[in-house]
A and B are shown apart, each in its own frame.
Chain A
Amino acid sequence: MHEVSLVESLLDQLDGLRDRTAGRPTATAVCLVRVRVGAGSGVEPTLFRTAYEACRGAREYTAAKLELVLEPERWVCPLCQSSVGAEGPLDCADCDAARVLRAGAGIFLDRVEMEVPDV
């Protein structure tokens, strides 16, 4: 299940973030993680959440709530930049160019919120 690999990569990025902030926030201080899942990414949001719930304990991110934002596909003509519908003819009628997926093809870590104790 590739959702597990993607969750591991998410947790690695969180670890990296901790290292970049000079070790100040601990893993348990991460309280919110926002991930954007494209409709055309090949990632199933419910499976991603299941994988997240299964993996985060072992990596100590027990307090980190996962917020999933679904991003619809956006297809455009690469020549004239006009939107091309996901349904119907797939190419731009004016330019005879194959449409390209401009948004909704990937999965991104958008935002992390942490509670850092004042010292």
Chain B
Amino acid sequence: MCDVCGCGTGPKATRLAVELHSSLLAGNDETASHLRAHFEAAGLSTVNLMGSPGAGKTALLEATARALGGTRRLAAVSGDLATENDAQRLRRAGIPSLAITTGTGCHLDAAMVHDALHAPALAVALEGAAFFFVENVGNLVCPALFDLGQAANVVVLSVTEGVDKPEKYPVMFRHADLVVLSKADLLPHLPEVSVAAVEASLAKVAPRTRVLPLSARTGEGVGEFVAWLDALHARTEAKSAGVPARFVSHTHPG
């Protein structure tokens, strides 16, 4: 019937209703599953590193590379709105890295990570690597929504951001497998901030998640972070037992 005046004349049309209940993240989740299969077959432990701009994500990776001193093979991608600075810093620290420049995009999605994996330089670095770090775009909101096929999420929260951040950004902190409380060397200057206060805020949204105080500057907590990574990697290896630990390269039609 005529929609303009309701007169009942005009071209006849049938109303068609379709019930779908399909997730708007289904496309991303499908690519993420493909990535996860890549990672598991390769025995590669992939860590999605999230946190506010300037929380100390790149510094954490630099300190980790220093502590490891070449004993584990690492690779990384870093998501950045505009520059390649972080990838350059990571390469200087000895971690083969590729920048993913997102333009106005405020998070990484699975397709961006997948494209990066198929870049020849990174594909070579991933052969035989134990850890693949994905440094997400600095943002406490949306990176948590987009699965990247990772084995674990690490949220970096610096001591200067305020102790109530877990309650203010519950979706992000609920997704965390570990919260690194960074810049712990600054704690003496911040009487109102304590590890216990951050733990109390986190307990309201994710009571089982551990807070690890760490300073990339003094090295405090870096050893414990490495131990956490090694435990994660032991689980990855148990999963891919029997499969030769090498990155499975493959091509896609089209």
Given A108-B21, A109-B24, A2:B171 Cβ within 8 A: no
- B142 surroundings in chain A (CB, below 8 A): 1-2, 42
CA A108 to CA B21, docked complex, whole Å: 6
Whether B207 lies near A90 (C-beta < 8 A) is yes
- Point out the residue from B22, B27, B207 that lies within 8 Å of A98, measured CB to CB: B207
Give B105's nearest chain A residue, CB to CB.
A5
Please report the C-alpha to C-alpha distance between residue A113 and residue B208 in the assembled complex, in whole angstroms: 44
Do B171 and A42 have beta carbons less than 8 Å apart? Answer: yes
Chain A interface residue count, Cβ-Cβ cutoff 8 angstroms: 34
A-contacting residues, B177-194, CB 8 Å: none
Q: A13-B20, A42-B141, A108-B21 are in contact. Are A115 and B13 (CB under 8 A)?
A: yes
- Find B12's partner among A2, A25, A110, A117 (CB 8 Å cutoff): A117
Per-residue CB contact flags for chain A residues 5-26 toward chain B (1 = under 8 Å, else 0) read: 1100110110001000100010
Q: With a CB–CB cut-off of 8 A, which chain A residues contact B141?
A: 2, 42
Complex CA gap A109/B20 in Å reads 6
- The answer to whether A114 touches B144 (Cβ under 8 A) is no
B24 touches A9 (CB 8 A): yes
* Chain A residues whose C-beta falls within 8 Å of the C-beta of B25 in the assembled complex: 6, 9, 106-107
Contact A13 B24 (CB under 8 A): yes
Does A118 make an interface contact (CB < 8 A)? yes
A96: min CB distance to chain B, Å: 11
Cβ 8 A contact of A41, one of B11, B15, B145, B205? B145
The answer, yes or no, to whether B17 is at the interface (CB within 8 Å) is yes
CB distance A113 to B20 under 8 Å?
A: no
Q: What 0/1 pattern do residues 26 to 67 of B give for CB contact below 8 A with A?
A: 111000000000000000000000000000000000000000
Query: What residues of A have a CB within 8 angstroms of the CB of B18 in the complex?
Result: 17, 111-114
B24 engages A107 (CB within 8 Å)? yes
Whether A40 is near chain B, meaning CB under 8 Å from some CB there, is: yes
Contacts of A25 in B (CB 8 A): 16
Q: Which residues of A contact B24 (CB under 8 A)?
A: 6, 9-10, 13, 35, 107-109
CB distance A40 to B171 under 8 Å? yes
Instruction: Name which residue of chain B comes closest to A2, CB basis.
Output: B142
A110 to B28 alpha-carbon distance, docked (Å): 18
Cβ contacts under 8 Å, A53 to chain B: none
With A42-B141, A42-B171, A115-B15 known as contacts, the answer to whether A2 contacts B20 (CB < 8 A) is no
Most chain A CB within a 10 A radius of its CB, from B15, B18, B207: B18
Is residue B170 within 8 Å, beta carbon to beta carbon, of the partner chain? yes
Q: List 22 A-B contacts (CB under 8 A).
A: A2-B107, A9-B25, A17-B20, A29-B13, A90-B203, A90-B206, A106-B23, A107-B23, A108-B20, A109-B22, A109-B23, A110-B20, A110-B21, A114-B18, A115-B14, A115-B15, A115-B16, A116-B14, A117-B12, A117-B13, A118-B11, A118-B14
Please list the residues of chain B having a beta carbon within 8 angstroms of any beta carbon in chain A.
Answer: 3, 11-28, 105-107, 109, 141-142, 144-146, 170-172, 174, 203-208
**Top 6 closest pairs, chain A to chain B, by CB:** A2-B142, A42-B171, A118-B12, A115-B13, A114-B16, A6-B24
